[in-house]
Amino acid sequence: MRYWRKPLDIDQVTVPHGRVVIIDDRCKGCAFCVEYCPKDVLVMSEEFNRKGYHPPEVVKDGECVNCNLCEMICPDFAIFCVASDDEEAAAAIAAQGVSDEQDEGGPN
Protein backbone atom coordinates (compact mmCIF):
# COMPACT_ATOMS: atom_id res chain seq x y z
CA MET A 1 0.00 0.00 0.00
CA ARG A 2 1.38 3.42 -0.93
CA TYR A 3 1.02 6.41 1.41
CA TRP A 4 1.57 10.05 0.48
CA ARG A 5 2.98 10.44 3.93
CA LYS A 6 3.53 7.96 6.67
CA PRO A 7 0.53 7.84 9.04
CA LEU A 8 1.44 8.57 12.65
CA ASP A 9 -0.02 5.33 13.97
CA ILE A 10 1.29 3.06 11.27
CA ASP A 11 3.04 0.78 13.77
CA GLN A 12 -0.21 0.26 15.60
CA VAL A 13 -2.40 -0.57 12.66
CA THR A 14 -2.24 -4.15 11.59
CA VAL A 15 -4.17 -5.80 8.83
CA PRO A 16 -5.82 -8.86 10.29
CA HIS A 17 -4.95 -12.19 8.80
CA GLY A 18 -7.19 -15.17 8.67
CA ARG A 19 -7.37 -18.64 7.27
CA VAL A 20 -10.43 -19.97 5.59
CA VAL A 21 -11.82 -23.29 6.71
CA ILE A 22 -14.19 -24.95 4.30
CA ILE A 23 -16.45 -27.80 5.30
CA ASP A 24 -16.62 -29.34 1.84
CA ASP A 25 -19.39 -31.83 2.31
CA ARG A 26 -21.83 -29.30 3.61
CA CYS A 27 -21.36 -26.92 0.70
CA LYS A 28 -24.09 -26.68 -1.93
CA GLY A 29 -22.08 -24.71 -4.45
CA CYS A 30 -24.07 -21.48 -4.20
CA ALA A 31 -20.95 -19.29 -4.79
CA PHE A 32 -22.07 -16.49 -2.46
CA CYS A 33 -18.69 -16.62 -0.73
CA VAL A 34 -16.80 -16.43 -4.00
CA GLU A 35 -18.93 -13.52 -5.19
CA TYR A 36 -18.67 -11.43 -2.07
CA CYS A 37 -15.23 -12.07 -0.60
CA PRO A 38 -13.71 -8.58 -0.52
CA LYS A 39 -10.23 -9.93 -1.22
CA ASP A 40 -11.30 -12.41 -3.92
CA VAL A 41 -9.60 -15.17 -2.03
CA LEU A 42 -11.95 -17.89 -3.21
CA VAL A 43 -12.98 -19.49 -6.46
CA MET A 44 -15.30 -22.41 -7.13
CA SER A 45 -13.13 -25.48 -7.42
CA GLU A 46 -13.31 -28.12 -10.09
CA GLU A 47 -13.57 -30.79 -7.43
CA PHE A 48 -16.85 -32.39 -6.43
CA ASN A 49 -17.93 -32.95 -2.88
CA ARG A 50 -19.89 -36.01 -1.78
CA LYS A 51 -23.16 -34.53 -2.93
CA GLY A 52 -21.88 -33.55 -6.34
CA TYR A 53 -21.48 -29.83 -5.71
CA HIS A 54 -18.36 -27.76 -6.39
CA PRO A 55 -17.12 -26.36 -3.10
CA PRO A 56 -14.98 -23.23 -3.08
CA GLU A 57 -11.23 -23.25 -2.69
CA VAL A 58 -8.72 -20.70 -1.53
CA VAL A 59 -6.58 -19.37 -4.35
CA LYS A 60 -4.90 -16.42 -2.72
CA ASP A 61 -3.12 -17.87 0.25
CA GLY A 62 -2.40 -15.45 3.04
CA GLU A 63 -4.69 -12.73 1.70
CA CYS A 64 -7.69 -13.56 3.84
CA VAL A 65 -8.25 -10.67 6.25
CA ASN A 66 -10.58 -12.55 8.59
CA CYS A 67 -13.52 -10.30 7.81
CA ASN A 68 -15.89 -13.27 8.27
CA LEU A 69 -18.10 -12.18 5.40
CA CYS A 70 -18.01 -15.66 3.87
CA GLU A 71 -18.90 -17.11 7.24
CA MET A 72 -21.88 -14.80 7.56
CA ILE A 73 -23.18 -15.12 4.06
CA CYS A 74 -22.85 -18.86 3.57
CA PRO A 75 -26.37 -20.32 3.80
CA ASP A 76 -25.02 -23.79 4.53
CA PHE A 77 -22.67 -23.09 7.45
CA ALA A 78 -19.91 -24.57 5.32
CA ILE A 79 -17.20 -21.94 5.52
CA PHE A 80 -15.66 -19.82 8.22
CA CYS A 81 -12.52 -17.87 9.00
CA VAL A 82 -10.15 -18.25 11.84
CA ALA A 83 -7.75 -15.55 12.99
CA SER A 84 -4.25 -16.35 12.02
CA ASP A 85 -1.78 -14.20 13.93
CA ASP A 86 1.22 -16.10 12.89
CA GLU A 87 2.07 -14.81 9.43
CA GLU A 88 5.16 -16.88 9.27
CA ALA A 89 3.24 -20.01 10.16
CA ALA A 90 0.64 -19.22 7.58
CA ALA A 91 3.31 -18.74 4.97
CA ALA A 92 5.06 -21.91 6.04
CA ILE A 93 1.91 -23.92 5.88
CA ALA A 94 1.10 -22.51 2.50
CA ALA A 95 4.60 -23.34 1.37
CA GLN A 96 4.23 -26.89 2.60
CA GLY A 97 1.21 -27.28 0.36
CA VAL A 98 -1.11 -28.13 3.25
CA SER A 99 -4.39 -27.05 1.90
CA ASP A 100 -6.65 -24.76 3.88
CA GLU A 101 -9.51 -26.96 2.87
CA GLN A 102 -10.61 -29.31 5.59
CA ASP A 103 -12.33 -32.46 4.53
CA GLU A 104 -14.83 -33.38 7.22
CA GLY A 105 -14.66 -37.13 6.87
CA GLY A 106 -16.51 -37.96 10.05
CA PRO A 107 -20.23 -38.44 10.40
CA ASN A 108 -21.88 -35.11 10.93
Partner 1 sequence: MSTKSQNTVPEEHPIAPFLRMDRMPHIWCPTCGIGTIVKCFATALDESDVDLDKTAIVSGIGCTGRVAGYMNLDAFHSTHGRAIPFATGLKLGRPELQVVVFSGDGDLSGIGGNHFIHAARRNMDILVILVNNFIYGMTGGQNAPTTPLTARSSTMPFGNFERPFNLPYLAASCGATFVARWTCLHIRRLTKCIRMALRHKGFRFIEVIAPCSTLYARLNRLGSGLDLMRFYHDEAEIRHGADTREIDIGFQDRIVCGNFVDEERPTYLDMMHSHYGEVLGDRYVPMDPEGGWLHD
State the residues that interact with partner 1 by CB under 8 A: 19, 21, 23, 25-26, 28-32, 35, 51, 53, 69, 71-78, 80, 82-86, 88-90, 92-93, 96, 102, 104, 108
Dihedral pair phi/psi, residue 23, rounded to 5°: -95, 90
Pick between residue 4 and residue 75 the one whose CB is nearest to partner 1: 75
Smallest separation, CB 23 to partner 1 (Å): 7
Q: What is the CA radius of gyration of the chain?
A: 16
Min. distance of Cβ 30 from partner 1 in angstroms?
4
- Cβ proximity to partner 1: between 57 and 71 the closer is 71
- 56, 31 contact by CB (below 8 A): yes
Instruction: Report the first-to-last Cα separation within the chain, whole angstroms.
Output: 43
